[in-house]
Amino acid sequence: MLISTLRKGFALSLFLAASAAALPPLAHAQLPAQAQAQTVVSTPRVRAELMAYAPDGVAPGAQIWVGLQLQHQPEWHTYWKNAGDSGLPTELNWTLPAGVSAGDIAWPAPHKIPVGTLANFGYENTVLLPVPLTVSPEFKAPASLTGTSNLDVRLKATWLVCKQECIPEEGNFTLKLPVQGTTALNRPAFEAAFDAQPAELAQPAQAEVEGQQLKLRVDGLPASAQGRTLEFFPETGEVVHNAAVSGRDWKQAWQGSTWTATYPLAEQRSASPGALPVVLTLAEPKAGDKPWAWRAQATISGTWPANAVPAARAEVSPALQAALAENAATPAPSTTPFAATSLAVALIGALLGGLLLNLMPCVFPVLAIKVLGFARQSGDHGGHRRAALAYTAGVMLSLLVLAGAMLALRAAGAQLGWGFQLQSPAVVAGLAALFTLIGLNLAGVFEFGRMAPASVCGMQSRRPLVNDFLSGVLAVVIASPCTAPFMGASLGFAITLPAPQAMLLFAALGFGLALPYLLAGFIPAVARLLPRPGPWMRTLQRLLAFPMFGTVAWLVWVLGQQSGIDGAGALLALLVSLAALVWALSLRGRARLVIASVFLVFTLVLAGGLGPNIVQGTPAVAAASNAQDRWQPWSSQRVAELKAEGRPVFVDFTAAWCVTCQYNKKTTLADAEVLAQFQAKNVALLRADWTRRDQAITAALTALGRSGVPVYVLHAPGKPPVVLSEILRKDELGAALSGL
């Protein structure tokens, strides 16, 4: 009956559906592979990420920024352009296409880091080092295999990170900037870096050397800075005493709007410049201080003392110099290291996501199958354990195969995400046929034993574990389009990791999905909760046919979203013909052969005539046909335009095959109070439909750290995007909207 269908019919249907889904990606994979961009390098001390900000796109004269963001672990720091008494500044070496050139680092203002009797100038916590790119009219971006054009940016960065000890580190980064469209997801990080850059003063500063002191005079500082204590940072190293303490070793004062200071020269001074660029910062900046740092070019008068000595800085000890040389000689790792704590959190999230996936509506048919199977084995504890292990093996193996295929195709340049197999109409049609067979079997229309040779049925009865294994495979095929709570972040994290660690996350997800059945198989108390076999099972079997047919209805609706009303109608006609053929095969005597032959020919003719309607996609229909429609189709350009107008933007990343998406759409997103809040806040509503494969949507999801739907994002001008939970709650969305 049901298990027989899983043993025979499911294996064939799944193979055909998977083959159909794999054809387009495999064809793509035969083309020259495109290396996946690596934008993050993590060490136990620093997380370094290459970022970009191109609000006007990539065009001659457009403002393009790239930069390296360094996130330091507590008590670790890197260095400013003048590192102070020790250390080395971060160096960025760019490889850019012809027609594109990189400027200097736009260094944010540093702060002083005392180290014993010395002082360094640098950064703790998080800092972004932005660099402007200039695009000349001669620049021509090569078109990729998909027809899109990108600006390829490559960076080799070296930095010295120190606490009590210093560790030289480096990383190789690659980034692809789309030529058409804007890149503005990192706007908040770049705006914070721009705010931290010193503002240029219109008037030059004056500096006079008197003995072992340098007397400064700075005019043109704004009224917001006047009367307040400032910090002093020279851009030229080895000139002044960096560790001097304000109020003790050096003095500062205000004479009206003029700031003056007397600063001691370095005991081991090695430079005697004629001009000294200096940066002044507020010693205690407040929230509203913009700017809080200023830069001036100080012209130096007077005579330098004659005690200047060759540079003999304490920046690099012999041991550190050896480490630097060894680091330079060692090639950069090809894979990105990761923090153990981040991986542990992601593993827990994947495990919880797998557990909750059992409660998602799209997995309900598989739950029904396993309940029925466990009831048939009531009292057979050994059978329970074997069934649970076989089911777990099916879940784990098929999930790892599916994840491996996704990671491999992504590495080859294909823009895929979680649930990608249901973006193929052929897979949807194959699954609809499979669940039609299962539903007919449960409804008693046919029994597999009447349609198969006795030898096949005998093999089935001797190998029941194969059925449990295939049940696990089916669970993954049906569950994979869903993104349960906790899964989104874990899967998004997985696709940024090296393959072994990513597969470990997917294994945790599979273990969570199989865990309830594994516990039921090995803990008798759980198994005893199941009812004993009896006549009720046949009634239950008939009842469970309806969830299967409900799944078929959902799959037909999904196909309708992909291939239009003609595709959905063609699939329904083929499913009816398939049901008639299966019924004919269940007959006895000569009628079976004659009627089945007629329906077989009819089904083949119907498939030849209507099949193209199923797999041929229809042009996307705009979600907003007029100004009165609430939802508009998503595009990165549209998001940028609306934000430039000062409007908040709410984006619904959805797909027709995602049941969770549809639930949220019909509940929270259709709630009158929520819609009133959207209207009151003048929020633009955009919908990114991922029902069919869309590279732009996949790239946007990846940028948000997600690999599947649903994803809900609220963009507010001047603020970082807010990513909401997968099960969208009315109170959560209301709280996010109230912060606009």
Asked whether the beta carbons of 479 and 422 are under 8 A apart, the reply is no
Asked whether the beta carbons of 740 and 716 are under 8 A apart, the reply is yes
Mean pLDDT of 557-569: 74
pLDDT band at 530 (very low <50, low <70, confident <90, very high): low
Query: In sequence order, which ranges of 179-288 are alpha helices (DSSP H)?
Result: 187-195
Find, among 280, 119, 131, the residue nearest to 207 by Cα: 280
Mean pLDDT of 233-255: 84
Domain boundaries, given as residue ranges, for the chain: 40-187, 200-309, 340-615, 631-738
CATH class of 631-738: alpha beta
What is the reported pLDDT for 318? Answer: 47
Across 319-364, the runs of DSSP E, i.e. the strands, are none
What is the reported pLDDT for 5? Answer: 40
Q: How far is the C-alpha of 180 from the C-alpha of 494, rounded, in Å?
A: 28
CATH, range 40-187: 2.60.40.1230
Q: How many CB atoms lie within 10 A of CB 289?
A: 16
Q: What DSSP element (H or E) covers 399?
A: helix 381-411
What is the reported pLDDT for 537? Answer: 59
**Which residues does residue 173 pair with via DSSP β-bridges, in sequence order?**
155
Confirm whether 200-309 and 631-738 share one CATH topology.
no
Low-confidence winner among 31-40, 87-96, 379-388 (lowest mean pLDDT): 31-40
What is the reported pLDDT for 129? Answer: 95
* Both structure tokens of 712: 């809900």
Q: How far is the C-alpha of 20 from the C-alpha of 198, rounded, in Å?
A: 58
What is the reported pLDDT for 249? Answer: 79
| Span 647-656, pLDDT tens digits | 999 999 987 7
Q: How far is the C-alpha of 639 from the C-alpha of 643, rounded, in Å?
A: 6
Name the residue with higher pLDDT: 486 or 283: 283
Q: Is 648 exposed, middle or buried (0-12, 13-18, 19+ CB in 10 A)?
A: buried
Maximum average pLDDT range among 447-461, 525-539, 669-683: 669-683
Name the residue with higher pLDDT: 573 or 52: 52
* Both structure tokens of 175: 């980034």
- In the predicted structure, residue 197 carries a pLDDT above the cut 80: yes
What is the reported pLDDT for 435? Answer: 75
* Both structure tokens of 130: 């932005």
- In the predicted structure, residue 257 carries a pLDDT above the cut 90: no
Question: What CA–CA distances, in Å, run from 204 to 197, 209, 276, 566, 739?
Answer: 18, 17, 10, 74, 43
Q: How far is the C-alpha of 643 from the C-alpha of 718, rounded, in Å?
A: 9
Instruction: Using a pLDDT cut of 70, give the percent of the chain over it.
Output: 69
Q: What is the DSSP letter of 246?
A: B
SS3 676: helix
- In the predicted structure, residue 107 carries a pLDDT above the cut 90: yes
Maximum average pLDDT range among 171-175, 563-567, 604-608: 171-175
The DSSP annotation for 691-733 comes to: SS--HHHHHHHHHTT--SS-EEEEE-TTS--EEEPSS--HHHH
Name the residue with higher pLDDT: 449 or 12: 449
- In the predicted structure, residue 709 carries a pLDDT above the cut 50: yes
Instruction: Using a pLDDT cut of 90, give the percent of the chain over it.
Output: 11
Residue carrying structure tokens 């000689």: 329
Third-level CATH fold of 200-309: Immunoglobulin-like (2.60.40)
Pairing of β 64-72 and β 100-102: unpaired
* Both structure tokens of 124: 């703790």
Maximum average pLDDT range among 257-266, 497-506, 577-586: 257-266
Give residue 263's Cα distance to chain centre: 50
Pairing of β 293-302 and β 199-200: parallel
Burial 117-149 (b: 16+ CB within 10 A, else e): ebbbbbbbeebbbbbebbbeeebebeeeeeebb
